Amino acid sequence: MAVSCVKFPEDTYKKVLDVPADFDWKTIEKKTLTLTQVSSVLDETGDTVASFLPPGSYDITIGKGSVLNVVQENSSQVFTKAPGAVKQRVFFPSKTKYATLMFEDLFPDKGDMDMNDIVFGLRIQFDLDAQARVLAIWFHLQPRGVGSSYKKIGIAANFTNYANTNPGITSLIYSDEKLSISNFFAVDYVSPYDYSPEKNTTISEVIPITGDYRASFSDTSELFINVRQIDPAISTTNFSVAVDLLTKNNFYSDFTLFDEPIPNKINIDVFTLIDVRSKEVHFKGQKATERFNRQYFVYTMPKTDFSTLDNWVWAIISEKSIRHPQEFVKIFNAYPNFKKWAEGGGQTNIDWYTPMIIDSLYTKRNFSYVN
């Protein structure tokens, strides 16, 4: 077997945070709701998290400390659409809001810790039939900024299971833009907008979302985009990718988001690719694909969970739409409570994005931020 070589950068990082070794860096959690009749679920601001769910038990992914409100519905409304049509939807974080995903690009080196190399908003939408079977899963992306010097940046979703086998649940992926998928992924195209999951995968199912993240911005001549106040603000184009399920036999309860491996569950992780297909950046505890070059883990040994020996990470998610730091500003300097949150193992300051040092954050664009 041929093994490619990886050149590792010199590690000059000095430990600045005392993060507990067992901290999972999660800002989201599952909340179990038991519904006795057809109901919708709203967040604390009144935005829809789920609509017209039939009676049953549901694990809803929300931000830690968030409050959900259940509203009972007229069940007859669920069945007014044609057979086979979408009857219910479940959203993360909600119907009109986006979560914030922030990535560093220098993995396996720790980088500058500004968490702005790849920044985008994400909304995940599950379309369900009347029996809560999943018909399609949507990934709605809101590009925000690029603080990376790499020209080639990709984004994908990874569908994994406890058995480390390809769930094989997807029939086709639909996009509303030409997303240059072939820059990173081998897929079968039905049209420039319709394509298969990544081919020849055995341990997971890889859903390409874009092969050229920079193309989502109106000016691709800029290396750094929307991360420095001295640069012009660059407009962006939101885009969506829909994953059509093959058999329609998977229920919403079969899926988890950004979770640890659980028997009989399919976990969905979103990750970035930097420069080459084999360099993936995942959230802590998420599984790499089989095309990831595991030599990168030599630099983080004995840890292979996308965290460092002192438990720093390369990817952070907030269920809120929050501002990202300016270039070269460490995230814990832009958000003073971030340090307390991380060093407290996530047990305190779960709203670490308040207060903020506004001069340390990028402010020339606004993406409906909560701060």
Tokens of 62: 């929300």
242-298 pLDDT, tens digit per residue, is 999 988 899 999 999 999 999 999 999 999 999 999 999 999 999 999 999 999 999
Task: Give the pLDDT score at 10.
Answer: 55
Asked whether the predicted pLDDT for residue 12 surpasses 60, the reply is: no
Nearest to 76 by CA among 43, 132, 21, 38: 38
Q: Is residue 38 part of a domain?
A: no
130-152 pLDDT, tens digit per residue, is 889 999 999 999 999 999 999 99
Q: What does the CA dihedral 169, 175, 180, 183 come to, rounded to 10 degrees?
A: -10
Asked whether the predicted pLDDT for residue 85 surpasses 80, the reply is: no
Q: Is residue 74 part of a domain?
A: no
Q: Is residue 19 part of a domain?
A: no
Task: Give the pLDDT score at 82.
Answer: 44
Nearest to 295 by CA among 280, 313, 284: 280
Q: Is residue 211 part of a domain?
A: yes
Classify residue 46 as left (phi > 0), alpha (psi -120 to 50) or beta: left
Tokens of 92: 């993360």
Q: Is residue 207 part of a domain?
A: yes
Task: Please state, in angstroms and as integers, the Cα–Cα distance from residue 209 to each residue in 36, 190, 353, following that order.
Answer: 37, 16, 28
Q: Is residue 245 part of a domain?
A: yes
Q: Is residue 347 part of a domain?
A: yes
Where in the sequence is the domain holding 199, given as residue range(s)? 91-360
Q: With beta carbons less than 8 A apart as the criterion, state whether 269 and 161 touch.
A: no
Task: Give the pLDDT score at 16.
Answer: 83
For the segment 195-211, the average pLDDT, to the nearest whole number, is 97
Nearest to 209 by CA among 177, 236, 235: 177
Count of structural domains, the chain: 1
pTM of the model: 0.94
When the pLDDT of each residue in the chain is averaged and rounded to a whole number, the result is 93
Tokens of 38: 């057809």
Q: Is residue 121 part of a domain?
A: yes
